Amino acid sequence: MEGQELSTPLERGTVEMYLDAELYDHEFRRRRHDVAWYRQLATDMASAHPQASGTIIELGSGSGRLLVPLVRDGHRLIGVDLSRDMLQRCRDRLMRAGKKAAARALLVHADFRELPLQVSKSERFRLILCPFGGLHHLYTRGDLERFLSEVRRLLHPDGLFAFDVINPDPHWLSRDPTKRWSRTRFKHPRTGERLIYSTNHDYDPESQVLFIRLFYEPDLAQSARTEAGRAASTALVSPPRTVHLTQRQYFPAELEALLHYNGFTLWHRAGGFDGQPLSPVSAEQVICARVR
């Protein structure tokens, strides 16, 4: 869809969030608990299978928020993503990590519902990851089934498929879509422009698709408080913009059934990266599945 006019809400919500990779990294810079969990999982799997080739697949590898730390830990990675902007950001981060680290990563521009990877049964991978809600961009049962078919094709019988998704909160989903939430002032990491962030959303209960809007507006009052800000207010002010993000919501029992009927069994499920059991107040579902 890159390079094409985005005509539907699903298309816009799949692409727009990932066009400004530097801003993406800035907004999620403090989210580290998931990275630590996946790093430990990769270490544990490497220890359990010391004779295996050890290459990890990360589906939806994005800007390298997880891939680069894994490479620094000494693992070999194949990172797959649909966004060229995010892949370029990942390449830049890999180069900063050093030539040896960068040599352990292969980045692939592809749709993870149809992976251009061919392996023999003996070469299948023991760890496949889809972190930070990558499954939320699988909007239909058909999308998920195509994706899981590819994971099953590539996963070793002794391997793990690990991923995390949001645990849907009916109260949050039913928020008033006409109001703005999470109002935050910040400075763009590249341009230095002072912005105000806010968000709202619409939820379609029939499709279980959430249509999120992220609003970025110039913070003229804050910019005008300093000499540099006054210069920025004339040189760097951009018009307000809205970024769309679309996410399919997966409820726990539904997700377990979808995994089961596509050839997987749950090996681990928790309500967060701290290992707490899934509960009504859990913000996340952290899952490891095996091929049945």
| pLDDT tens digits for range 184-211 | 999 999 999 999 999 999 999 999 999 9
Q: What tokens does 117 get?
A: 């990877």
Give me the DSSP letters along 270-291. Answer: ESSTT-PPP-TT-SEEEEEEEE
Q: Assess contact for 99 and 72: CB atoms under 8 A.
A: no
| pLDDT tens digits for range 5-20 | 667 999 999 999 999 9
| pLDDT tens digits for range 108-121 | 999 999 999 999 98
**Is pLDDT of 236 > 80?**
no
**Is pLDDT of 85 > 60?**
yes
How far is the C-alpha of 273 from the C-alpha of 32, rounded, in Å? 10
Q: Which of 60, 70, 80 is nearest to 14 (CA)?
A: 60
**Is pLDDT of 269 > 90?**
yes
User: What's the pTM value of the predicted model, to 2 decimals?
Assistant: 0.93
**Is pLDDT of 150 > 60?**
yes
How far is the C-alpha of 76 from the C-alpha of 73, rounded, in Å? 9
Q: Assess contact for 156 and 174: CB atoms under 8 A.
A: no
Count Cβ atoms below 10 Å from residue 48 Cβ, excluding itself.
11
**Distant-in-sequence, close-in-space partners of 285: CB < 8 Å, separation ≥ 6:** 164, 165, 166, 167, 250, 252, 255, 269, 270, 271, 278
How far is the C-alpha of 66 from the C-alpha of 90, rounded, in Å? 10
Confidence of residue 233 (pLDDT cuts 50, 70, 90): very low
How far is the C-alpha of 103 from the C-alpha of 107, rounded, in Å? 11
- The burial of 240, by beta-carbon neighbours within 10 Å (0-12 exposed, 13-18 middle, 19 or more buried), is given as exposed
Confidence of residue 69 (pLDDT cuts 50, 70, 90): very high
